Structure 1
Amino acid sequence: MAQGTPQRKRVVIIGATGLQGGSVARILAQSPDRYIIRGLTRNTSSPKAQELYKLGIQVQQADLDDSKSLQEAFHDAHVIFAMTDFWQHMSAEREEAQGKSIMDIAAELPHLEQLIWADLPDANKISEGFYPHVYHWQSKAAVSKYIREEKPELWKKTTAVLFPNYFENCLTQPATYLPIKQADGTYLRSFVLPETADLPNVAISDTGKLVQYILDHPDQCLEKTIAFYSETISEGEKVRSMAKAYNIDIRYHEMSSDEFQGILKKHMGDVTALDFTEQLLIFRDFGMIYGRPEFVQANQLPGLKLTTWKEFMEANDLHYYMTSA
């Protein structure tokens, strides 16, 4: 290495073949002069893993339930993007254990400079115990509390990121997130919230942009929780924008909690359906909680350009994804 050349940082990305980690990997791979990227995945021979290889990313097998594999993957890390996936196994206890294991190992790393943790709010605290079944929020919030209270030196290197609703859900789960075509040719958007209830939204493909910002601005981001969303938008606003863009008639139906859970139970268990429903009802009953003053607002960070709903619609023909009843 030539004298004066800055050392490239080793960035270890958990879930590198997924939506969050994959975005981080692809964005940071555009700066090979700055980063050596190690992407972790359970299956290094998958098509998505092969795509990472082609970008010059090191792909390494690791399992969040196997602390030895994490120790091997983390040993020389300067930066870790850490996330856990509740929906993979739907066990809050397992997810919390995975998260704490990550933090135990990270806290002992001699070269670690920054850790970015994919977080969610404390539903029990925010709802004052009214919505106690949002397990996939609570497990992540418990890990954040663990870092702050049990690993204070690690917290000094940490940025927690609250993830919101993804625009991309419209593409991957259209029956849940888009209007459905009816027999008479009109469309119906059925959802559990009032059409005026605001939700935080983001393009998950922008995750890498935020992580790049965090790495470039540690003074603004360390020991902070960032609410990651580009804009707040209601389902009613989305319906109106789609009706106008595609010249179609869309009606909105506010479902009851029981009605919504009944639909969810067709493809998930009772407990998970309740979890999913309560997380949404928090926004109905307690407002746009991501906008609270204790959180840094990602859409207010200078120089960070996040995709808007309008831009997402322009890039994706959502009418094509709308299913029929």
Structure 2
Amino acid sequence: MEVKLITIFGATGNQGGSVARSLLKNPAFRVRGITRNPASDASKTLSSQGAEMVKANGLDPEEMRVAFRGSWGIFLNINSDDKIFTNPENPTEFDMGKIIADAAASEGVQHFVFSSGAPCSELTNGKVAMKAMDMKYKTEQYIRSLGVFKSVLPLSPGWFLENFLSIEAAPIFGGFPHFPNDEGRLVFRTPHWGGKEDVPWLSISDDFGDIVQGALLDPETWNGHFIHALSNVRSFKELTEDFQEATAREATWIPILPSWEQFETHGIHELEDVKLMFGLTQVTGGKYFGETTEIDTATKLKKATAVALEYPQEKHRLMTVKEWFATRFANTTLCKEDGTTPNSSA
């Protein structure tokens, strides 16, 4: 059996790490991870699990060519929040994507999986300009234009459920799911999503890597198909109801009105894109992916991986929001306002 080498740019990140962990379970694949720091704990962990870790910089064409040498396929996610992109004198995210795509093409890579995004400015007629999404879409179009890959598989991840594990981020959204209000209720505050309020939620740890592997099991079938990478579609109201049922704790969603422009970013750079995401979905009627959200593709890809890895039948489906909260929060203790738990001595 031919063992196919998949090289992952950003292997120590959330997306790349999930892809690596999924592929490492399948003897049909070998995994090479690209990192700027092979000595990091995340790099060492992947190495101990069987990944080959190599050092390379996405802005160095020769390092990228060496990193991709011998690869059958690659997975690319560029961190839009990388500090190197905040300096206007530095190369842009698109510049990095172009260098990486050219290197992959020169090394004969056949299958290119790219974490992309919808063309935000185009979809909103310039009303909302989310640089990260626009750069990713521009990079995707460049990858396609090269015309040398047997398949180009763009996909976009939904809202990470894992974001709810961050105690630091909870107060920005009303305290949910860590800090109850004075009445003991957990409040989740966001603007409306738009349209039918179909929010695409994704368990990055449970499903994302399997969705990508599912595409790589039959890449030419999915060539050019924009994959919606998600686990469950639930409105903000339904999500808090799911949390309540999973944990037996009172929770409610309160919309920030009248529009996305009232979402407060508190001067935090990363939250600017969150605010613009709400702008995109409100202006487009909920079309975060640039089109009506669908879960059938992710369901098929998850099942394909589950079959290939011989998962038990109950693991052939995507994680639901209710199940995700049940496994992470059912037995946890809520925090006090200072971030400690009621039983903490801090």
**Among 46, 52, 55, which residue is 1:52 paired with?**
46
Aligned residue for 2:263, secondary structure, equals: helix
CA distance in 2, matches of 1:192, 1:174: 15
Name structure 1 gaps, 5 residues minimum. 1-5
User: Which of 148, 154, 157 is the matching residue for 1:153?
Assistant: 148
Q: CA deviation at 1:70?
A: 1.1
Cα deviations by residue, 1:257-311 (Å, 9 ceiling, x for unpaired): 45422xx224x14xx5443212123223323323837989533426353222122
In structure 2, how many angstroms separate the alpha carbons of the residues matched to 1:165 and 1:174?
Answer: 15
Please report how far the alpha carbon of residue 167 of structure 1 lies from its aligned counterpart in structure 2 after TM superposition. 1.0
CA apart distance, 1:317: 0.9
CA contact (8 A) 1:37 1:57 kept: yes
Cα distance in 2 between the residues matched to 1:144 and 1:321: 43
- 1:226–1:298 Cα contact (<8 Å) kept: yes
Q: Which runs of 4+ in 1 moved over 6 A?
A: 293-296
Say if 1:188 and 1:252, in contact at 8 Å, map to a contact too: yes
RMSD (Å) for aligned C-alpha atoms? 2.6
Distance in structure 2 (CA, Å) of the matches to 1:275 and 1:144:
19
1:125 and 2:122 matched:
yes
2:203 pairs with 1:191: no
Q: Deviations over 1:99-128 (max 9, x none)?
A: 111111112123x22110011111112222
Structure 2 counterparts to residues 168-207 of structure 1, below 5 A? 168-172=162-166, 173-176=169-172, 178-179=176-177, 180-193=179-192, 197-205=197-205, 206-207=207-208
User: Percent sequence identity over matched residues?
Assistant: 23
TM-score by length of 1: 0.86
Tell me, yes or no, if structure 1 residue 260 matches structure 2 residue 263: yes
Question: TM-score, structure 2 length as denominator?
Answer: 0.81
Contact 2:198 2:233 in 1 (8 A): yes
Partner of 1:97 in structure 2? 95
Equivalence for 1:38: 32
Give the number of equivalent residue pairs. Answer: 310
Separation in 2, partners of 1:245, 1:23: 25
- Partners of 1:105 and 1:165 in 2: how far apart? 30
Listed one character per residue, the Cα deviations across residues 179-220 of structure 1 (whole Å, up to 9, x for unaligned) are 431133222221122697221111112222112211211232
Is contact 2:230–2:295 with CA below 8 Å preserved after alignment?
A: no
How far apart are residue 235 of structure 1 and its match? 0.9
Contact 1:163 1:229 in 2 (8 A): yes
| 8 Å Cα contact 2:155-2:227 kept in structure 1 | yes
Is the Cα contact below 8 Å between 1:174 and 1:321 reproduced in 2?
Answer: no
SS class of match (2:221): helix
Contact 1:199 1:283 in 2 (8 A): no
In the alignment, is residue 282 of structure 1 matched against residue 276 of structure 2?
no
Q: Secondary structure at the match of 1:43?
A: coil
Change (3 A) 1:108 1:322: farther
> Which one-letter code corresponds to 1:186 in the other structure?
R
Structure 2: runs of 5+ lacking an equivalent: 305-316, 338-346
Cα distance, 1:125–1:258 mapped onto 2, change above 3 Å = closer
Residue number among 326, 339, 342 corresponding to 1:314 in the alignment: 326
Q: Does 1:233 align with 2:234?
A: yes
**Amino acid paired to 1:236:** K
Q: Secondary structure at the match of 1:131?
A: coil
Output the CA distance in 2 between the equivalents of 1:135 and 1:321: 38
Structure 1 residue 115 and structure 2 residue 112: aligned?
yes
Counterpart in the other structure of 1:299: 298
Q: Larger helix proportion, structure 1 or 2?
A: 1
AA at the equivalent of 1:126: L
User: Are 2:6 and 2:73, in contact at CA under 8 Å, matched by a contact in 1?
Assistant: yes
What SS does structure 1 have at the residue aligned with 2:226?
strand
Q: Is the 8 A contact 1:159 1:222 kept in 2?
A: yes
The equivalent of 1:3 in structure 2 is none
Q: Which residue of 2 aligns with 1:166?
A: 160
Q: What is the CA–CA distance in structure 2 between the aligned matches of 1:274 and 1:221, rounded to whole Å?
A: 33
Q: Distance between the aligned counterparts of 1:138 and 1:318, measured in 2?
A: 38
Residue 238 of structure 1 aligns with an amino acid whose one-letter code is L
Which amino acid is 2:197 matched to?
A
CA distance 1:250–1:68, shift in 2 (3 Å): same
Distance 1:248 1:143, change over 3 A: same
